[in-house]
Amino acid sequence: MIKVEHLSKRFGTTEVLKDINVDVNDGEVISIIGPSGTGKSTFLRCLNLLERPSGGRIWINGQDILAPGTDAGALRRTMGMVFQSFNLFDHLTALGNVTLGPVRLLKKSREEAVRRGRELLALVGLAAKEEAFPDELSGGQQQRVAIARCLSMDPQVILFDEPTSALDPTMVSEVLGVIRRLAADGMTLVIVTHEMRFARDVSSRVLFMDEGVIYEEGSAADIFDHPRRDKTRAFIYRISNLGYHLADETYDYYDLMSRIEAFGRRHFFTGAAIANVMLVVEETLHLCLEEGDAAARRRTVRDTGGLSLVVAYSEQANETSIIVTADASLKTVLNTDAESDRLSLKIVSGLTASVREEIREGKAILTMVLKAG
């Protein structure tokens, strides 16, 4: 029902979408995933002409919507959109929000709109809140009203623009529950999301977007279990990472540690897991900069642009890894010769599941995967 060919969109000189080609069939549930700032939301907004595409063509039910004279209002009535920030009408009650469109745009009678509105509020579990104003509702409740508002227009497809990103973690599930419900009922959905498990469960197809193109697409199993291309794989497995650059041995130890702690908290690490990451990083840097021919090693590090440290966490695999990269002239990041501190080595090997050193593309790369906490 939606067909997109060579879609592009630029804001000024920035090219956000380059060449998007995609088909959406009736009843499909499509998830769009990918790093932030790669045009996922822009793509969604192009579909209902909230953004005017710079090039390419879009057909909805066989109608070319970029042709001059397209009634954008009529088009949007058939495509619901749910926003990240809910965007409920603040001056109307929950019931008012779900009846405004039907009464004003579909010219339904007030009685009919109210009857249908109550049905829809019941559907999203908010029958008791019809008299509540948006500021009296929690974020999750507001987003459910927003979904009901979309449904009130009887759309053929609903576009979700990161529907749970602005929500407290405790409220995510109530919104996802409603979306699952719609998917199960056979509604056509296009969902931009960062909720990987949800995308995996609910989608009939997953699009991975990066750098303004659809980088990889496939079934949920294809994308999440067997991603074929590098960036997809990196995204799926290492969903987030913390990068830190050390110019030389005089790095700010406390700053580094506090960042690791904040990173760990953001991903709900246990206290012990955070302590382990910190310990491994500290011992690794000790082995790198303080052991063996320390003076020469430090000079090499300083002269070749320092060390780069990445702490990567994969939500999918629940796996934390630490990658330290230095110039190839350092040969190894960890100094593990006979002179080295045995205790440091013991700690590193005790807390990691694997340690791998390699020289690639002029870089000495140390990859350590921490044992599962």
Partner 1 sequence: MMKPRPFWLLAALLAAASLSCSPAKERTTLSSLDELKDKRIGVLVGSTHDQFATTRFPGAEIFRLDTSPDLAVALKAGKCDVILMDANTGRLYRRDDPGLAVLAEKVFAEDLGFGFADAAVRDKFNVFLKELGASGELDRLRKKWENDSGEAAIPDPPRSGKNGRLRFATSADGVPFAFIKEGRYTGLDIELAYRFAAGQDMIPDVQTLPFGSLIAALASGKTDVICSGITITAERAKQVRFSDLYYQSAADALILKKNAAGGFEQTAAVPRAGGWLARAKESFFNNVIREKRYLLIWGGLKVTFLISILSAFLGTILAGLVCLMRMSRRRLPRTVAKVYIDLLRGIPQVVLLMMMFYVVFAPLNVSGVLVATITFALNFAAYVSEMFRTAIESVKKGQTEAGIALGFSKIGAFLRIVMPQAVQRVLPVYKGEFIALVKMTAIVGYIAVQDLTKASDIIRSRTFDAFFPLVMVAVLYFVLAWLLTLLLEAIQVGTAPKRPTRETPGARSAGGTSSRELRGGQAQKSRGAGK
Residues that bind partner 1 (CB under 8 A): 48, 50, 73-74, 76-77, 79-81, 83, 85-93, 100-101, 104-105, 119-120, 122-129, 131-133, 136-141, 146, 149-151, 153-154, 168, 170-171, 173-174, 177-178, 181-182, 185-187
Nearer Cβ to partner 1 (80/264)? 80
Measured from the CB of residue 177, what is the shortest distance to partner 1 in angstroms? 5
Measured from the CB of residue 70, what is the shortest distance to partner 1 in angstroms? 13
Nearer Cβ to partner 1 (140/212)? 140
Nearer Cβ to partner 1 (10/77)? 77
Block residue for tokens 């790095």? 251
Nearer Cβ to partner 1 (86/269)? 86
Nearer Cβ to partner 1 (98/368)? 98
Dist CA 335 CA 326 (whole Å):
13
Dist CA 87 CA 71 (whole Å):
23
Report whether 326 contacts 360 (CB < 8 A).
no
Name the residue among 196, 209, 202, 212 with its Cα closest to residue 179: 202
Measured from the CB of residue 76, what is the shortest distance to partner 1 in angstroms? 5
Dist CA 314 CA 320 (whole Å):
6
Measured from the CB of residue 183, what is the shortest distance to partner 1 in angstroms? 11
DSSP single-letter state for residue 373: -
Measured from the CB of residue 220, what is the shortest distance to partner 1 in angstroms? 22
**H helix runs in the chain, sequence order:** 40-47, 72-77, 94-104, 110-123, 139-151, 169-184, 196-202, 220-225, 230-237, 253-266, 271-289, 294-303, 342-351
Phi, psi of 324 (to 5 degrees): -115, 130
Nearer Cβ to partner 1 (103/279)? 103
Which SS3 state, helix, strand or coil, does residue 15 take? strand
At residue 323's C-alpha, the angle toward residues 357 and 197, to 5°, is 125
- Written as six digits, the tokens of 196 are 């990987």
Measured from the CB of residue 86, what is the shortest distance to partner 1 in angstroms? 8
Q: What is the distance of C-alpha 269 from the center of its chain?
A: 19
Measured from the CB of residue 323, what is the shortest distance to partner 1 in angstroms? 37
- Written as six digits, the tokens of 203 are 């989608």
Measured from the CB of residue 191, what is the shortest distance to partner 1 in angstroms? 15
Nearer Cβ to partner 1 (7/183)? 183
Nearer Cβ to partner 1 (146/236)? 146
- Written as six digits, the tokens of 294 are 């320390």
Tell me the CA end-to-end span of the chain in Å, nearest whole number: 47
Block residue for tokens 């296009």? 190
Per DSSP, the residues of 184-226 read: HTT-EEEEE-S-HHHHHHH-SEEEEEETTEEEEEE-HHHHHH-
Nearer Cβ to partner 1 (134/264)? 134
Block residue for tokens 């630490």? 322
Measured from the CB of residue 367, what is the shortest distance to partner 1 in angstroms? 39
